[in-house]
Chain A
Amino acid sequence: MTTLWDTSGTAVIKALAAERRQAGAVSSGLALTLVAVVDERLVTEAEQAATHAAAQHPCRLLVVVRRRPDAPEPRLDAEVSVGGRLGPGEAIVMRMYGRLALHAESVVLPLLAPDAPVVTWWFGEPPQLIAHDPLGVIAGRRITDATAAADPLAALRARAEDYVPGDTDLSWTRTTLWRSLCASAFDSLTGEVTGLTVAGEASNPSRALLAGWLRSRLDRDVQLEDTDGPGVTGIELVVGGETVRITRNDGRLATLSRSGQPDRVLPLPRRQLGDLLAEELRRLDADDAYAEALGATTGALTVQGARTHLWQDPAEVADPDPALTTS
């Protein structure tokens, strides 16, 4: 591991090359570059999740911490490791101070693995507009998390208005196990759909997306039922006179009940961040099913073409984008 204080991007590149030679990993194949944009107080948690995901998808991990954009002098500190504490791959943690934080891409661009896909992940409050952050513009896939926003449902709406194919949100990833159970149940159901209910915390964006997904696939209204959670707590499907109910009140085990059949208990855990991230890295193409669900959830989907960077100076606007203003 090499730690560099008050350094330059060129020195970081050299340190990475030296670390790679030392580790003997000169010909290692990298599937992708993962850029994690993280707030200082969340760095440890983000590193853990990214390390877990990197174990499944060998990648170059670039952790960007923007600090004190108002600091008078720009400064870069970096920690470079290959096969060290951040998993088997290559990892660089960079702390950028002052105006450099607004030009993070100048350090990140030359560090991207050649010709490999780039995934940018904002851990924490999602950006208002992804185009505000150049690190989002250079990525082929962009991962946000509406759950981390102060108003998650508004954040979801912002995602819909700002949607470009390749965007995805971890609140959507959290619905996968639920959706899988619903789809399995539907395999053996026939007849007209007469009732759909999704229960969960009122502010939970996963509940909203789950309902949106059902609406987009089945073209029917979905009832929302408010509960104390955690997260999504149940789904009820009434199809052809049969009722299938999946309930999960403890965030771990689900009970599947169906008319005329014995109840069954299934593990349906709320997955850890690392698992969610690993699922996101599995496929790097645009997720059309997410776009449809997002559209049905918010009614505000506008699909745009490619993004270009929109310059925003946090010092000059009243309400700066959270993606640029971490501690």
Chain B
Amino acid sequence: MTAVRSGNPLRDPRDRRLPRVPEPCALVVFGATGDLSRKKLIPAVYDLANRGLLPPGFVLLGFARRDWGDGEFEQLARQAAQEHARTEFREEVWQRVAEATKFLSGSFDDDAAFDTLATTLLELDASHGTGGNAAFYLSIPPNAFPTVLKQMQRTGMADNRQTDSWRRVVVEKPFGSDLASAVELGDLVDDVFTAQDVFRIDHYLGKETVQNLLALRFANELFEPIWNAHHIDSVQITMAEEGGIGSRAGFYEGVGAARDVLQNHLLQLLALTAMDEPVRFDAESLRTEKRKVLEALTLPKDLAASAVRGQYTQGWLAGQRVKGYQDEEGVQPGSTTETYAALRVDVDTRRWAGVPFYLRTGKRLPRRVTEIGIVFRKAPHLPFSRSDTEELGANQLVVRVQPDEGVTLRFGSKVPGTTMEVRDVSMDFSYGEAFTENSPEAYERLLLDVLLGDASLFPRNEEVEASWRVIDPVEEMWAEGGEPETYRAGEWGPKAADEMLARDGRAWRRP
């Protein structure tokens, strides 16, 4: 996982106080005035600066359509850092960031603006000592990708050799809307940049708990021996949001929960849960193992019975009345876009034969929670009488990704008293209690990894394509007709999803 720098005599792998600091470089943000940039990227840059993790020659360069100068952008960035940064706002730290904050105004089809950008990047080396290195963050709508990428190709600013430095690109989801478009987009990006310089951000992978899943599985003796079909009955991966679509109807309509969340976040979590041990803990080995799992995914034969889509209707959530999806602003009347998706997939390997993986995601569910639930088989024989173990469920290991990050283990325990009564109890490990109060934000971690060139936590193009291969048949089936099931806002999804598990003799966990 660590970037190995050979030849620097002051870096000693045993000396772990010294942080990993990237080489001098510029971070170019396209769509610098947008939501993601203000709420996540700029605060993450400030947090990195505050923790001393940015190199002396670092420049933040914003690119957007607004007719602004450096000063106005600096104002926006300052406000963003003050409002959203994780760490305390300190004027002297901000001053250093502000001095190295630049803004370029231009639209994406403006050749002159991109020519200026290309020369600016070279000039920054002389004025700020960036070494000509640059990472481009595409915080822009997907339909603008091709235009921007072609501009980069035209000006040669994406070429490592031509610029004699490193040039990297960061792409946000969605990576296409089906297999064909993902292949097309992937080809285009890989054509403009070299494949190892492309970083596809899945911010879930930057979360501490997700990385901890690997520690939990591969650093312990306790779990890996039972991490297979002999002992595991089923796996449930849930990502629930209590929010609705807000003002994102324009994006969300026609995309839906399966493409927005299931295809990327949930399948990545599945891959980390199901993968074999990587040979080494580096980008290449990790991605190889994840890819093996994703390519082994199969959908059940009776797809209609194993995939459920839903749409929320008007209801009550957290004490407030909320609109149904059809009444949200910007939603087409009679829209069949799903706001809830549940899917059963199987991993066709010896380790996982016969173990269903149930994935579900939805908006306007009772609370915001993401978790991976491993449900174990019941003990093959119980020496207790049936009535004694009536309240004993299956053992479960739950990785709580957010909020309240941690791990829960559920197992049976004797109820105090004179009778032998066994009931489920939980044993809890909470990150907040055992480690530092505030782990770095996912974007902070991932941005640092991009600047360091460490791609371990970024899915590769092949993984994206394998994921689409799983989702495409489901989307095609849904596109053929019919309407999503409905569920009231504030419920755990449509009834059909419960029935889907009931048919397999199982039930959803209440997260």
A interface residues (Cβ-Cβ under 8 A, vs B): 27-31, 55-58, 88, 173, 176-177, 179-184, 186-188, 190, 214, 217-218, 252-253, 256, 258, 261-262, 264-267, 269, 279, 283, 287-289
Complex interface: chain A residues within 8 A of B93 (CB): 267
What 8 A-B pairs come out closest when comparing CB atoms? Answer: A289-B15, A29-B434, A29-B433, A183-B10, A56-B436, A261-B129, A288-B14, A186-B10
Please determine whether A29 and B92 come into contact, CB atoms closer than 8 angstroms. no
13 contacts between A and B (CB under 8 A): A29-B433, A30-B433, A57-B435, A57-B436, A58-B434, A58-B435, A88-B437, A176-B17, A186-B10, A187-B5, A217-B10, A252-B92, A264-B129
Please determine whether B8 and A183 come into contact, CB atoms closer than 8 angstroms. yes
Compute how far the CA of A264 lies from the CA of B99 in the bound complex, rounded to whole angstroms: 10
Which residue, B10, B15, B21, has most C-beta atoms of chain A within 10 A? B10
Interface size of B by CB at 8 A reads: 38
Complex interface: chain A residues within 8 A of B9 (CB): 186, 217-218
Contact status of A176 and B429, CB under 8 A, knowing A58-B434, A184-B55, A218-B9:
no
Given contacts A88-B437, A187-B8, 19 further A-B contacts (CB under 8 A): A27-B428, A29-B433, A30-B434, A57-B436, A176-B17, A177-B52, A180-B21, A180-B52, A183-B11, A183-B21, A186-B10, A187-B23, A188-B131, A217-B9, A253-B92, A262-B129, A264-B129, A265-B96, A289-B14
Complex interface: chain B residues within 8 A of A214 (CB): 10
Compute how far the CA of A180 lies from the CA of B17 in the bound complex, rounded to whole angstroms: 8
Chain B positions 431-448 with a Cβ under 8 Å from a chain A Cβ: 432-437
Q: Which of A31, A176, A180, A265 contacts B434 (CB 8 A)?
A: A31
Please determine whether B129 and A56 come into contact, CB atoms closer than 8 angstroms. no
Complex interface: chain A residues within 8 A of B302 (CB): none
Q: Which of A30, A217, A279 contacts B12 (CB 8 A)?
A: A217
Q: Which of B18, B90, B437 contacts A180 (CB 8 A)?
A: B18
Compute how far the CA of A120 lies from the CA of B436 in the bound complex, rounded to whole angstroms: 19
Complex interface: chain B residues within 8 A of A186 (CB): 8-11
Contact status of A266 and B12, CB under 8 A, knowing A29-B429, A176-B17, A184-B56:
no
Complex interface: chain A residues within 8 A of B96 (CB): 265-267
Compute how far the CA of A88 lies from the CA of B92 in the bound complex, rounded to whole angstroms: 29
Compute how far the CA of A194 lies from the CA of B437 in the bound complex, rounded to whole angstroms: 44
Compute how far the CA of A214 lies from the CA of B131 in the bound complex, rounded to whole angstroms: 26
* Per-residue A-contact encoding for B1-36, CB less than 8 Å = 1, 0 else: 000010111111011111101011000000000000
Complex interface: chain B residues within 8 A of A188 (CB): 23-24, 131
Compute how far the CA of A253 lies from the CA of B96 in the bound complex, rounded to whole angstroms: 10
* Per-residue A-contact encoding for B52-87, CB less than 8 Å = 1, 0 else: 100111000000000000000000000000000000
Compute how far the CA of A27 lies from the CA of B57 in the bound complex, rounded to whole angstroms: 47
In the assembled complex, B368 has its CB within 8 A of some CB on chain A: no
Contact status of A28 and B92, CB under 8 A, knowing A179-B17, A261-B129:
no
Please determine whether A267 and B436 come into contact, CB atoms closer than 8 angstroms. no
Complex interface: chain A residues within 8 A of B24 (CB): 188
Compute how far the CA of A184 lies from the CA of B3 in the bound complex, rounded to whole angstroms: 13
Contact status of A262 and B8, CB under 8 A, knowing A31-B434, A184-B21, A267-B92:
no
Q: How far is the CB of A180 from chain B (nearest CB, A)?
A: 5
Which residue, B12, B15, B434, has most C-beta atoms of chain A within 10 A? B15
Complex interface: chain B residues within 8 A of A182 (CB): 10
Complex interface: chain B residues within 8 A of A289 (CB): 12, 14-15, 17
Compute how far the CA of A173 lies from the CA of B131 in the bound complex, rounded to whole angstroms: 31
B interface residues (Cβ-Cβ under 8 A, vs A): 5, 7-12, 14-19, 21, 23-24, 52, 55-57, 90, 92-93, 96, 99, 127-129, 131, 428-430, 432-437
Compute how far the CA of A176 lies from the CA of B16 in the bound complex, rounded to whole angstroms: 10
Which residue, B429, B432, B436, has most C-beta atoms of chain A within 10 A? B436
Please determine whether A183 and B18 come into contact, CB atoms closer than 8 angstroms. yes
Complex interface: chain B residues within 8 A of A258 (CB): 129
Q: How far is the CB of A67 from chain B (nearest CB, A)?
A: 33
Compute how far the CA of A29 lies from the CA of B17 in the bound complex, rounded to whole angstroms: 25
Please determine whether A264 and B56 come into contact, CB atoms closer than 8 angstroms. yes
Complex interface: chain B residues within 8 A of A187 (CB): 5, 8, 21, 23
Complex interface: chain A residues within 8 A of B55 (CB): 184
Please determine whether A29 and B8 come into contact, CB atoms closer than 8 angstroms. no
Which residue, A88, A183, A190, A287, has most C-beta atoms of chain B within 10 A? A183
Q: How far is the CB of B55 from chain A (nearest CB, A)?
A: 6
Compute how far the CA of A29 lies from the CA of B429 in the bound complex, rounded to whole angstroms: 7
Compute how far the CA of A56 lies from the CA of B52 in the bound complex, rounded to whole angstroms: 18
Q: Which of A252, A256, A265, A283 contacts B16 (CB 8 A)?
A: A283
Q: How far is the CB of B464 from chain A (nearest CB, A)?
A: 32
Q: How far is the CB of B75 from chain A (nearest CB, A)?
A: 21
Complex interface: chain A residues within 8 A of B8 (CB): 183, 186-187
Q: How far is the CB of A26 from chain B (nearest CB, A)?
A: 11
Complex interface: chain B residues within 8 A of A184 (CB): 21, 55-56
Please determine whether B92 and A179 come into contact, CB atoms closer than 8 angstroms. no
Complex interface: chain A residues within 8 A of B16 (CB): 283
Complex interface: chain A residues within 8 A of B131 (CB): 188
Compute how far the CA of A31 lies from the CA of B432 in the bound complex, rounded to whole angstroms: 11
Please determine whether A262 and B127 come into contact, CB atoms closer than 8 angstroms. yes
Compute how far the CA of A23 lies from the CA of B299 in the bound complex, rounded to whole angstroms: 49
Compute how far the CA of A177 lies from the CA of B56 in the bound complex, rounded to whole angstroms: 13
Compute how far the CA of A72 lies from the CA of B277 in the bound complex, rounded to whole angstroms: 64
Q: How far is the CB of B204 from chain A (nearest CB, A)?
A: 24
Q: How far is the CB of A58 from chain B (nearest CB, A)?
A: 5
Complex interface: chain B residues within 8 A of A57 (CB): 435-436
Q: Which of A58, A88, A218, A279 contacts B17 (CB 8 A)?
A: A279
Q: How far is the CB of A209 from chain B (nearest CB, A)?
A: 12
Contact status of A55 and B434, CB under 8 A, knowing A186-B8, A217-B9, A264-B56:
no
Closest B residue to A55 by CB, please name it.
B437
Q: How far is the CB of A189 from chain B (nearest CB, A)?
A: 8
Complex interface: chain B residues within 8 A of A27 (CB): 428
Compute how far the CA of A56 lies from the CA of B87 in the bound complex, rounded to whole angstroms: 13
Complex interface: chain A residues within 8 A of B14 (CB): 288-289
Complex interface: chain A residues within 8 A of B428 (CB): 27
Which residue, A56, A57, A184, A187, has most C-beta atoms of chain B within 10 A? A184
Compute how far the CA of A180 lies from the CA of B434 in the bound complex, rounded to whole angstroms: 27
Complex interface: chain B residues within 8 A of A31 (CB): 434-435
Q: How far is the CB of B448 from chain A (nearest CB, A)?
A: 14
Closest A residue to B23 by CB, please name it.
A187
Q: How far is the CB of B149 from chain A (nearest CB, A)?
A: 29
Compute how far the CA of A279 lies from the CA of B52 in the bound complex, rounded to whole angstroms: 14
Complex interface: chain A residues within 8 A of B23 (CB): 187-188
Compute how far the CA of A187 lies from the CA of B10 in the bound complex, rounded to whole angstroms: 9
Compute how far the CA of A58 lies from the CA of B437 in the bound complex, rounded to whole angstroms: 8
Closest A residue to B99 by CB, please name it.
A265
Complex interface: chain B residues within 8 A of A177 (CB): 52
Please determine whether B129 and A28 come into contact, CB atoms closer than 8 angstroms. no
Compute how far the CA of A56 lies from the CA of B433 in the bound complex, rounded to whole angstroms: 9
Closest A residue to B10 by CB, please name it.
A183
Compute how far the CA of A252 lies from the CA of B89 in the bound complex, rounded to whole angstroms: 16
Complex interface: chain B residues within 8 A of A266 (CB): 56, 96
Contact status of A179 and B56, CB under 8 A, knowing A31-B435, A267-B92:
no
Complex interface: chain A residues within 8 A of B11 (CB): 183, 186
Complex interface: chain A residues within 8 A of B437 (CB): 55-56, 58, 88
Compute how far the CA of A176 lies from the CA of B10 in the bound complex, rounded to whole angstroms: 12
Closest B residue to A182 by CB, please name it.
B10
Compute how far the CA of A264 lies from the CA of B18 in the bound complex, rounded to whole angstroms: 21
Compute how far the CA of A256 lies from the CA of B128 in the bound complex, rounded to whole angstroms: 12
